[in-house]
Structures are given as structure tokens and as C-alpha cells.
Homo-oligomer: A and B are copies of this chain.
């Protein structure tokens, strides 16, 4: 049996060739892989059906089965994703900056691939294709560890991708899928020092904590979003209602959904009733001040303030002023996205400067923190950490830089 270390070495070897591949070759590989995904739809859907049947027999909840299930449209959408990535600009080789030193040394900071990018993910089989495509385009080998529940689907998808990449003359091992999925092997995976250049866990808090505790390889955390919308005293209240409804209800299960409403006391009596009406179907929990205004708001506990509901639930807090709003948000923010609705320039400036988050929005929905919405074309995740990448991670965030220094025999004195 192939060991995890050997699989990693295959990815490492492939990454050397990928780092030197031209853009046109990578794009041809992406298009070939997309074509094969569609041609192999039958096989992929059959493998997926086997995973879905196993999940059903094991009593997996319907929402999880829905994330696992593929259909012809979802396979086509994976292929479309690869075509879209082929159309993006190649990040590799970009000279990020360059200058000449007084002694004549010419210094260039050049964008290069990371090497082997490892992704640990849960039941969604489309991640196999999406992640492999972004890794390939950025010149990295993808070393993928999906869940055991999606193994047959992931195998069928990665087989098509490997064959497609090989058609364009790139190594099959540009995508390496790990097939053993025990907890023990997860720990071993996170400790492949010297093999994995960047690990991106895509999963819940327990996966993130396992990475923090066990990983000895470099990683980027794609964390939770406890996103607040603060409605300032000077807010356009109709705009605030629209942003709140969009942030909370447009897609409640995602990390950039609005989870908590903070309202300035001066406008709470007018705003909250409008908000409550507009949020019909959303369960509301709030502090005493909000409940005194609107009896349809239930009591919030301390836990509510920190909670990422990912559901049609919203916490509500009334604050005396901007300072109290910022303090509340600083205390409970997960550092993802925080928004203010205001017409007051000073309030907007203070909010954007003082609130510490990957993205701070003024008069816009929290739902905009997203690689596509930012114009990156696609994203591998959203970083809530401060090192390397913060916010939506596109192709550039899958690269590092190298200094190329050119001289004419300079020595240090």
C-alpha cells in the first residue's frame, strides 16, 4: 500500500514541473479536465450515487446528503468552474515590486507558486475539482483529503482531472487524493513537514482546532463568521432594512451571512419594528432594550452574542452610541466581516479604522465578502487569520514570492 509520505512525495515531484509550466499549458490542462468531467458524468454520478446510498443507510441528515449529492447540472458547474479559472490571469511570474540599491544590486520580488497545497475538506465533492483547478492555475500541486463519505465521488472526479491534466502534458500527480481517512491519518497528514507547503482546512471548529493542535506544516485558517450589521443614528433606515434582510436571509448557511444586528438607541424605536416586519420567518433574540421595543424578540443569552447561527436566527442589541457598538463588535467579532449603515462620515471613518476584521463594509451587505464578488474570479476560502492572507483567497493567495537579486560581483563590506 502507498504510504501518505509517498503520496506527498508524488505531489512534491509534480509541483516542481508545475512551477515551471507556462500559462497556456496550464489553461489547456484545465480545459481538458473540464471536458473529461462532462464526458465522464455517468461514471461520476454512479460513484456519487454509491456515496449517497451509503450516507442514507448510515442515517446522515438530509442537509448533509444534499451537500454530497451531485447531478448533471452540478457536474457541468464543476467543469464551468475549471473553464472560468482557465480564463483568469496567471499569477505566477508577476514582478510584485523591484528596485535598485545604491551599490547597483537589482532586487525583484517575483510571485511564485507555494509548491504543494493541501486541502482537508468535508462532504462536498465539488471541492475536489474547484481546489485542484485553483491549485493548478497557480502552479501548485493539490494534495487533497476529502471525507470518507465522499470517497467514491472524489476518486471518480480526481481520476478525470488527472487524466485531463496529463493530456496537456502536465503530471497526473498535479492532483493527489488521499484515500485513507482515519483520524490517525489526518494527524499524520498535518505533520508532513517538508512536503506540504500550505494546508487549508475547510471545515468546522473541531477541524480548525485539530489543525492548531497537531499541524507542524504551515496553514491558513478559513474560520467562522459572526458578522454584525451596525445601524448608526444617522443611517438611511430603508437601506438598513434592505442590507439586514439581504445579509440574514439571502443565504443564511454561509460564513458571510449577517448573524447579529446592533442598533443605535436613537433610531431603535423607529428601526426595530420595520426590521422585525421585514424579517418575517427569522427567529430574533435580543437584549432588554430591544425587547422593550419589539415584543416579538425573544431573550438573548451571553452565548448568543458569540454565535454563528448559519440559520434563520438573528441576535439584536441596542447600544447607546458608536463607542458601545464598536466595543460590542470588538468583543464578539470573529474577525470576518463587520458592517455599518450610516450617512455620517466621521462614524464611517471610525468604524472602518477601529473595527478589526478581514473586511469592514460601509453601506453594503456583509454577503459581499467573497472572492467572486471581490473580482478574484474564484476563491479557495476566506481567511480570518492575519498572516499571509486575510479575507477572500484567490489565485494570488495561493502563491508566495521569491527575491531575485542580480549583481555584477557586489560584496558586503
> Which A positions have Cβ atoms within 8 angstroms of B?
16, 19-20, 99, 101, 105, 107, 112, 114-115, 193, 197-198, 212-213, 216, 218, 220, 236, 239, 242-243, 245-246, 250, 330, 348, 352-354, 356-365, 367-369, 373-375, 385-388, 390-391, 400-413
Known: A373-B101, A387-B198, A409-B236. A402 touches B358 (CB 8 A): yes
- Alpha-carbon gap, A279 to B364, bound state (A): 65
**Interface residues of chain A: helix, strand, loop or mixed (majority):** mixed
Known: A114-B386, A388-B388. A407 touches B363 (CB 8 A): yes
Given A362-B407, A387-B400, 14 other A-B residues pairs in contact with their CB atoms under 8 A: A16-B330, A20-B354, A112-B356, A198-B387, A218-B385, A246-B412, A348-B406, A359-B403, A362-B406, A363-B410, A364-B406, A367-B411, A390-B401, A391-B401
Contact B197 A386 (CB under 8 A): yes
| Cβ contacts under 8 Å, A218 to chain B | 385-387
Contact A409 B239 (CB under 8 A): yes
- Alpha-carbon gap, A243 to B409, bound state (A): 7
Q: Which of B250, B356, B411 contacts A246 (CB 8 A)?
A: B411
Known: A115-B386, A386-B400. A361 touches B405 (CB 8 A): yes
Ordered by A's residue number, 20 sampled pairs between the chains whose C-beta atoms are within 8 Å are A101-B375, A107-B374, A107-B375, A112-B356, A115-B356, A115-B386, A198-B386, A218-B386, A242-B411, A250-B413, A352-B404, A356-B402, A358-B402, A358-B403, A359-B403, A362-B406, A362-B407, A367-B411, A387-B400, A391-B402
